[in-house]
Chain A
Amino acid sequence: MTTPLTVGENTVDSLLRLDRMPHIWCQGCGIGPAVGCFTRAIESSGLDPDKIALVSGIGCAGRAAGYVKLDSFHTTHGRALPFATGLKLGNPELNLVIFSGDGDLVAIGGNHLIHSARRNMDMTVICINNFNYGMTGGQAGPTTPLDARSTTTPYGNFEYPFNVPYLVAASGATYVARWTVLHVRQLEWSIAEAMTKPGFSFIEVLAPCPTLYGRMNKEPKGLDTMHSYQERSVVRDGADPKDVAIDSDGPIVVGKFVDIERPTFWDQWKLLLDRAREKKK
């Protein structure tokens, strides 16, 4: 256990479980900066941390729930969204944040992802995308770019990956953005915006995985991936989500792609209550 350097002054420390530091993430892992952005976003958005609940699934990113000093739930693989749905409906005052990985949210939890977006559940999803399954040792998943190597695609990935922002936008999300962990300022601002916006918000965060994905794809150090983000990323706010697919060496389009208004599940539920009362009379 390490002691905080500046007790009470540093936003990050006051929202972390310091008795669990240092964390389990590898050298150069991109999840840490994303967690940092999330904690600073809580500060900058002025939200009451007591009313924020964080729900995670399984995987490297899923471990975030254990490191933040909030009501935090580390659930089963892929099921963070339905768990959070119950939590949100049980107490609509809670601000729900789902912090999990691409394998958890898009593969095993893919069905819950599209349905939560369809319902426009009032929650913010921070999806750490490192293009592979880190916790289990670097296997390919539905976000692994074509031709990329992984421990289960030793001859290169032959399956086409999801364009995640396109998937989520098509399913009905009202806020969709993508950043890399190099874009820390934008990411923090984007998380704050998403958390204060009603409806289903989704932020894809590209993060280096030097130990596994990077090592197998000519980026053995976190810095290599960060440099590739620096060279390849293009900020295009308002870009059509269908044009933002990622391949293994082309440009990475980042920015805020969708920011629209649509009634949330809760708005619709209140209408239903009126209808139910009407019918009873």
Chain B
Amino acid sequence: MPEDGALCGTFFMNGDVACAEGAISAGCRFFAGYPITPATEVAERMSERLPHVGGIYIQMEDEIASMNAILGASWAGLKAMTSTSGPGFSLMMENLGLGVMLETPCVLVNIQRAGPSTGLPTMAAQGDMMQARWGSHGSYEIIALVPSSPQEIFDLTITAFNLSERYRVPVLVMSDEAVGHMSEKVVIPRISPKELVSRRRPDGTQEQYLPYKADEDLVPPMAIAGEGYRFHVTGLTHDERGYPVMTVEAQDQLVRRLVDKIRLNKKDIIRYEEVGVEDAEVIVCAYGISTRVARLAVQEARNAGIRAGMLRLITVWPFAEDRIRELAQQVKAFVVPEINYGQIVLEVERCAAGKASTLLVPHMGGGVHHPQTILKAIKEAVQ
């Protein structure tokens, strides 16, 4: 193990553990969490590893407290993370909004399980995708990444920290039970400091510092507590000084910037993978664990003479709407397999805008699709 405590080498580990290792490689030094199946292993791994890398692990009294504790730790200058699943994710929503409003970098991992309510705690689902986008009240933009393997959850956890530090916004890693509990080969490279992003800090004098005066990229430099800036931050609508201002104008200025700093930078944020889309007449648009099944279905469709392709969404929020619009000009149909009763399909349908048809392949949760189910939908779509 290198001196900084990050692992390096090739390992056989499950997605939850890989997520924790990704966080440590990304420089995460604070974890607050609460046990919940199937995300518990992330917390367990962090409790074991953080003491050895100069970090702090704390088990809070609930998920509400966990979310707040990572916001606090972030304002003390640490990279901070929490992990949870459906019920805990719901509890975190209010303070996810606080993170957005205070522009606090942090990472929230959701190892999704089937709901509603307690649902199927030990079985996979992708039912929180719209909650990830709209779960907290008010208008805002958020970043959500969806890994499809233990290797990718490792990689994307690092990306999540980088994006959250870059844009001062909570970033969600929307994994699921299948990826979380799946053990596979994970290659952990030596991460050089150059690959890691840290929030920009103010360089002006303390008297002149305005906590919410944004630079050209709409992201304000961030002071941390205890450095003498004596700043004030509030969940109330505020001006550049961070002071509450209860006016329509202040609301417009602030919320517009919070949304725009993500929307105008979406080229930098959005990631996707394309397989055989060049000549495709039908595209399977999938994300997370569903892509692994979809890949097989697309292959079988090709074998059967159907020009099928796949668009694998890695960044789900902000949504890859420009790319879907382009592809809609070319294809007959989009097939959207997801382990819920239709969430991301609504976005695909919106962007296809009638130019191509969309076909949902739902799964109510507790498992993954059978490749034949998706294949059947592909065949149906091209008829």
Q: Give A62-90 interface residues, CB cut-off 8 Å to B.
A: 65-66, 69-76, 79, 81-90
A229–B75 alpha-carbon span in the complex (Å): 39
Apart from A71-B232, A73-B233, A74-B236, 19 more pairs, CB < 8 Å: A20-B243, A50-B226, A51-B226, A66-B232, A70-B230, A71-B229, A74-B232, A82-B65, A85-B68, A86-B72, A86-B74, A87-B225, A90-B56, A90-B74, A90-B75, A91-B225, A94-B226, A111-B61, A277-B52
Provide the residues of chain B in CB contact with A17, threshold 8 Å: 232, 243
Tell me if A215 is interfacial: C-beta within 8 Å of chain B.
Answer: no
CB atoms of B72 and A74 under 8 A apart: no
CB atoms of B61 and A89 under 8 A apart: no
CB atoms of A90 and B235 under 8 A apart: no
Provide the residues of chain A in CB contact with B32, threshold 8 Å: 82, 85-86
Q: Give A100-133 interface residues, CB cut-off 8 Å to B.
A: 111-112, 115
A246–B95 alpha-carbon span in the complex (Å): 33
With A79-B65, A82-B68 already in contact, the answer to whether A87 and B232 are too (CB < 8 A) is no
Tell me if A158 is interfacial: C-beta within 8 Å of chain B.
Answer: no
A167 to chain B, nearest CB (A): 15
Q: CB < 8 Å: which of A20, A55, A69, A84 contacts B230?
A: A69
CB atoms of B75 and A112 under 8 A apart: no
With A75-B68, A86-B71, A87-B76 already in contact, the answer to whether A276 and B52 are too (CB < 8 A) is yes
B272 to chain A, nearest CB (A): 34
Q: Give B1-42 interface residues, CB cut-off 8 Å to A.
A: 30, 32
Q: Give B223-243 interface residues, CB cut-off 8 Å to A.
A: 224-236, 243
CB atoms of A86 and B52 under 8 A apart: no
Interface residues of A toward B: which range? 35 or more
Interface residues of B toward A: which range? 35 or more
With A65-B234, A89-B58 already in contact, the answer to whether A76 and B68 are too (CB < 8 A) is yes
Chain A residue at minimal CB-CB distance from B229: A71
Q: Indicate with 1 or 0, residue by residue over A259-272, a CB within 8 angstroms of chain B CB atoms.
A: 00000000001001
B78 to chain A, nearest CB (A): 5
Provide the residues of chain A in CB contact with B52, threshold 8 Å: 276-277, 280
Question: What are 14 A-to-B residue pairs whose CB atoms are below 8 Å?
Answer: A49-B230, A70-B230, A71-B230, A72-B233, A73-B234, A82-B66, A83-B72, A85-B60, A85-B69, A87-B73, A87-B75, A90-B56, A90-B80, A111-B61
Tell me if A273 is interfacial: C-beta within 8 Å of chain B.
Answer: yes
Tell me if A182 is interfacial: C-beta within 8 Å of chain B.
Answer: no
B93 to chain A, nearest CB (A): 11
Tell me if A243 is interfacial: C-beta within 8 Å of chain B.
Answer: no
Tell me if A93 is interfacial: C-beta within 8 Å of chain B.
Answer: yes
Q: Which 4 A-B pairs have the closest CB atoms?
A: A90-B76, A86-B72, A74-B234, A86-B69
With A71-B230, A111-B62 already in contact, the answer to whether A86 and B235 are too (CB < 8 A) is no
Q: CB < 8 Å: which of A66, A72, A82, A273 contacts B72?
A: A82
Provide the residues of chain A in CB contact with B94, threshold 8 Å: 76
B141 to chain A, nearest CB (A): 20
Q: CB < 8 Å: which of B67, B73, B95, B102 contacts A90?
A: B73
Tell me if B371 is interfacial: C-beta within 8 Å of chain A.
Answer: no
Tell me if B77 is interfacial: C-beta within 8 Å of chain A.
Answer: yes
With A66-B244, A74-B235, A75-B68 already in contact, the answer to whether A86 and B227 are too (CB < 8 A) is no
A58 to chain B, nearest CB (A): 8
CB atoms of A82 and B76 under 8 A apart: no
Provide the residues of chain B in CB contact with A65, threshold 8 Å: 232, 234
B214 to chain A, nearest CB (A): 20
Tell me if A253 is interfacial: C-beta within 8 Å of chain B.
Answer: no
Interface centre among B32, B231, B235 (most CB of A within 10 A): B235
Q: Indicate with 1 or 0, residue by residue over B80-108, a CB within 8 angstroms of chain A CB atoms.
A: 10000000000000110010001000000
